[in-house]
Amino acid sequence: MAKPIRTVLIYLGLSLVALTMLLPFLWMVLASLKPLREVEMLNPLPTEWHPENYRKVFEQIPFARYYFNSVFISAWITFLQCLTSCMAAFAFARLNWKGRDGVFRLYLATLMIPGVVTMIPNYTLMVKLHILDSYTGLIVPASFSAFGTFLLRQFMLTIPPALDEAAEIDGAGRWQVFWDVIMPLARPGIITLGIFTFMGTYGSFFWPLILIKSEHLRTLPIGMLFFDTNYGRQTNLIMAASVMNIIPLIILFVTSQKFLVKGIQLGAVKG
């Protein structure tokens, strides 16, 4: 096939898929500007524009506070998860110790445990530790990740061992090797994990729902429930809140794009 034709075909395919991804979001943005009664009608454009829906979101609920909470909690979790995962991944990828592979397999096995299994005991644990209804209860249990450890271990395995051996010959301790050799080289991997984690926790719904009681601790997904009650659903405001909800994620994704793809290394073919 001639090169230009192939290029055109690829662009065509990509654009088609992109369109199916984009149209629903366009609908979402337009719906956020519609009067309530038109929201689920499928006329694409509102008959009258209601940009004040966005203002209403802030008036009816303390949206700014929820925004802050969501970003704040996700940031803490991302930070802690990256840190603990890096350290554990280092132990698995770079250090030789007895039982290493056994423990690693145990970590892998926990990826298979359905979240609901641990939900009830963890909830009881939060109650016992008196961190129900607190930032701590939202942040701490989510800060340790077997998935993150796995992802970063795979990435660290791709870093040539000669590098840290050289550093050790120069008299560097483990701690120094970790910070000065491995961590800088593992940066794409860490950023990738960071993005996955941030997105996962930012949208998490069920745990905050059962854990949080106070209004000032609510996160965005929980706060938005106000627009959906027995007395009616303000779908246009839900849409406005959702549009505002995804803005931080889009910014994060676009700014860190170039690291993302580099950051994922899942092990090599045996050979």
Give the torsion through C-alpha atoms of 205, 78, 110, 211, to 10 deg: -30
The answer to whether 142 and 76 are in contact (CB under 8 A) is no
d(CA 135, CA 201): 13
Q: How far apart are CB 153 and other proteins at their closest, in Å? A: 9
For residue 190, give every residue at least 6 positions away whose Cβ sits within 8 Å of its Cβ, in sequence order, or none. Answer: 82, 86, 152, 183, 263
**Binds other proteins (CB under 8 A): choice among 30, 125, 167, 172:** 125
Name residue 229's beta-bridge partners.
232
Shorter beta-carbon distance to other proteins: residue 162 or 269: 269
Q: How far apart are CB 116 and other proteins at their closest, in Å? A: 5
**Binds other proteins (CB under 8 A): choice among 17, 47, 49, 52:** 17
Tokens of 187: 């940066």
Q: Is 46 a binder of other proteins (CB under 8 A)?
A: no
Applying CB under 8 A, the site for other proteins has a residue count of 126
Residue 63: closest CA among 257, 241, 190? 241
**Residues in 200-259 that interact with other proteins by CB under 8 A:** 203, 205-206, 209-210, 212-216, 218, 221-222, 224-226, 228-233, 235, 238-239, 242, 245-246, 249-250, 253-254, 257
Q: Is 165 a binder of other proteins (CB under 8 A)?
A: no
**Binds other proteins (CB under 8 A): choice among 53, 149, 197, 201:** 149
54: left (phi over 0), alpha (psi -120 to 50) or beta: alpha
In this structure, the number of other CB atoms found within 10 A of the CB of residue 88 comes to 21
Q: How far apart are CB 40 and other proteins at their closest, in Å? A: 5
**Binds other proteins (CB under 8 A): choice among 2, 112, 162, 169:** 112
